[in-house]
Amino acid sequence: MLSQGDVELFRKQGYLVVEGLQDEDALTNVRNEYSTLMDDLYGSWQQDGKVPQPHAGMGFWDKLDRAYRGGFEWYQPFDISLPHSGISDDTPMHFGPAVFDMATNANILDCVEALIGPEISSNPIQHVRIKPPQHAVAASENRAHVIATDWHQDQGVTLEEADETTFVTVWLAITDATIENGCLQVAPGAYREMLPHCSRSQVGIAEPFLPKDEATPVPVKAGGAVIFHPLTPHGSLANKSDHYRWSFDLRYHVTGQPSGRSHFPEFVARSRSNPASELKDWRLWKKMWEDTRHHLAHSDHIPQHRWGNDAPYCA
């Protein structure tokens, strides 16, 4: 998928926009999987008397909007990870066949291989992001996966164990990501060192080090992706449209190197040297996360981030 010129551009600027990584069939499969999940959630709320019976033609976005405006918990049941804390045996999460096919898609892995080599593990630091219109966001909302994401570096949201790990992030658009609806913004070429972060409502780059003057929006169409280096500063714009914006964060690292969140499960997505080691069954992926959830629900809390607010630049 990537030419040598693409690889050189990635090395120079720290990110790359690649259109058409997922075809319409793959996008439809993911949307349908989440639509079924949304129907199940809405049905449970209806049984509890929280929402009325859905009217004819009420689809995924209508139900999601009702959930968000009603204050119902919809995000964690959609996420392809576990939360930072408060994990219990019934903490919701989503691991299904369409999402697994997306994470192991050959086009995506071809791009990743061109950048980090042929031994590729799916990194467990991964999320779904569905951003409501900013005007509908409650003042108390601070989740980075729901509102505009603060400037940060992906290496900054891993633990120190992965500071020498080679990995990339594939930010995959499920709906068109535009400047109006809150696409990513990056700081091209500014990925030579780790910048200080603070743990505010979100983990983000400390104010004195923000690369505001270098901010470059990177719109991308549904099925396309922004691929970036773990030290590339990036965030997202606010969603100023009247519609939701949907994407996934998919990360990949060189197999055998620390993931940066080793208490979460990773798996081999591609191996040229040992193809038999590749995970092919989404049900095993799901069980890995279920087993992890049970373990963490009965263990002492393990921090997911390294940063606090005690440094002078966080005051």
Query: For the residues of 75-116, what is the DSSP string, one character each?
Result: HHHH-SS--SS---TT------HHHHHHHT-HHHHHHHHHHH
Per-residue pLDDT at 103:
98
Q: Give me the sign of the Cα torsion angle 149, 128, 165, 15.
A: negative
Q: How many CB atoms lie within 10 A of CB 285?
A: 22
Closest CA to 187 of 216, 208, 209, 210: 216
Q: How many CB atoms lie within 10 A of CB 272?
A: 10
Per-residue pLDDT at 200:
80
Q: For the domain 4-303, what is the CATH code?
A: 2.60.120.620
Per-residue pLDDT at 192:
85
Residue ranges per structural domain of the chain: 4-303
- Tens-level pLDDT at each residue, the chain (315 residues): 799 999 999 999 999 999 999 999 999 999 999 999 999 999 999 999 999 999 888 999 999 999 888 888 899 999 999 999 999 999 999 999 999 999 999 999 999 999 999 999 999 999 999 999 998 887 777 777 778 899 999 999 999 999 999 999 999 999 999 999 999 999 998 788 999 999 888 899 999 999 878 899 999 999 999 999 999 999 999 999 999 999 999 999 999 999 999 999 999 999 999 999 999 999 999 999 999 999 999 999 998 888 888 888 887
The model's pTM: 0.95
Per-residue pLDDT at 24:
96
Q: Which residues contact 277 (CB under 8 A, 6 or more apart)?
A: 268, 271
What gap in Å lies between CA 296 and CA 315, rounded to an integer? Answer: 32
Per-residue pLDDT at 143:
75
Per-residue pLDDT at 118:
98
Per-residue pLDDT at 127:
96
**Distance of CA 32 to CAs 19, 96, 148, 304, Å?**
22, 11, 26, 31
